[in-house]
Structure 1
Amino acid sequence: MSNTLARASKWTAFLASRPEFPAGDRLLAAFHAGKITRLCDCGCNSFDIEVAEGAVTPLAQPGERGGSVFELEFRTSEEQSTLEFVVLVGANGQLSGIDVDYCANSYPVPDEPVLVEPPYHVRTSAALAI
């Protein structure tokens, strides 16, 4: 399935609802305050977003550079397949994108992947403002 604004919204809402993600309300606020600047067309469901400084409470502490502040990975019902999420912020601590990859970006993300609970990998950066 092609990557769309609806898919970006779906995955953002999914991550915000997860108990593993400690800043769900701020993630949703950032998504709604931001402007999508890129929907990747390689088959993944990743996107870049710009959130104006001061528009909402940042997801992370500002720093010299941005990067990954949260990772969540699941096995899927397909044998030896995985679905990975990475939440990215800019140097200002605002949401800058979410990477959504299937099988380490080896294949396109299926329309409705069936996730096996619980996730097998969760990483929350100390920079994430909780």
Structure 2
Amino acid sequence: MRYAATIVNVRFPKSRLSLGVGLGQSRWAVYGQSRSFDSPTEITDNRRVEAGSRDTKTPMPNNLERAAYWVTFILEHCPFPNRDALAAQFANAQIVRLCECGCNSFSLSLATPDEVPPIAIASSGQPYRMVFEADFHDRSELEVGGSIEILLFADESGHLADVEIDYCGNGIPIPENLDLEFPPYNVFVSDSLT
């Protein structure tokens, strides 16, 4: 069997570092280095796509409807310490950017930021920082250990600025169908949250 492409993702525990490796034409490469191999079984992969076939995992589209889904999901399933403040941020926000890389991330701009209390302490000199993360196992991907990572970022004033929704450390586009396990297996809460 000949493979047209193989996507390999390595996520390093306790860090946000991901390494993506791609295979094509019987060679694999990491940051410009490559080596030949005789069989695709010499590497561990998350997904294989046979030559001439379609990938069976349809990526979840990133659009305003999907962003609204994630806002509801975050408010219902993420253990954010002050949900009312987070809900007020979402209610006052406009989506100003939808990422197109295969994740479901989006950026926000508050319509009237003075009317909504910040979710984090204001920081001078640090205009953009992660203030919260919740990671959920995807039971539909037990063989490869898939997960959804939800990260919230605040701007310098402490208001919500970005919502990052990644799959497997953003190494794979988010699949259309998810079967997430609750509660989240990993939660990070910044000391700067109010």
Normalising by structure 2, report the TM-score. 0.63
Give 5+ residue unaligned stretches, structure 2: 1-59
Aligned to 1:62: 122
* 1:37 pairs with 2:102: no
The one-letter code of the counterpart of 1:28 is A
Structure 1 position 53, deviation (Å) = 2.9
Q: How does 1:1-130 map to 2 (within 5 A)?
A: 1-18=60-77, 20-51=79-110, 52-64=112-124, 65=126, 66-77=128-139, 78-79=141-142, 80-129=145-194
CA deviations over 1:4-51 (Å, ceiling 9, x no partner): 112112112211223621122222221121121110011100001112
Query: Normalization by structure 1: what TM-score?
Result: 0.91
Q: What one-letter code is carried by the residue in structure 2 that aligns with 1:62?
A: A
Report if the CA contact (8 A) 2:132-2:153 is conserved.
yes
The residue identity in structure 1 corresponding to 2:120 is: A
Q: What secondary structure sits across from 1:119 in the alignment? A: coil
Structure with higher Rg: it is 2
- Structure scoring higher RCO (CA < 8 A, sep ≥ 6) equals 1
Contact 2:148 2:168 in 1 (8 A): yes
Q: Please, what is the CA RMSD of the aligned residues?
A: 1.4
Number of residue pairs the alignment of both structures matches: 129
> For the residues of structure 2 that align with 1:15 and 1:124, how far apart are their CA atoms?
14
Instruction: Measure, in 2, the Cα distance between the counterparts of 1:6 and 1:25.
Output: 22
Residue segments in structure 1 that go unaligned for 5+ positions in a row: none
Could you list the structure 1 runs, at least 4 aligned residues long, displaced by more than 2 angstroms after superposition.
Answer: none
Q: Please list the CA deviations of residues 96-126 of structure 1 after superposition, one character each: whole Å capped at 9, or x if unmatched.
A: 0110000111111122311122311101001
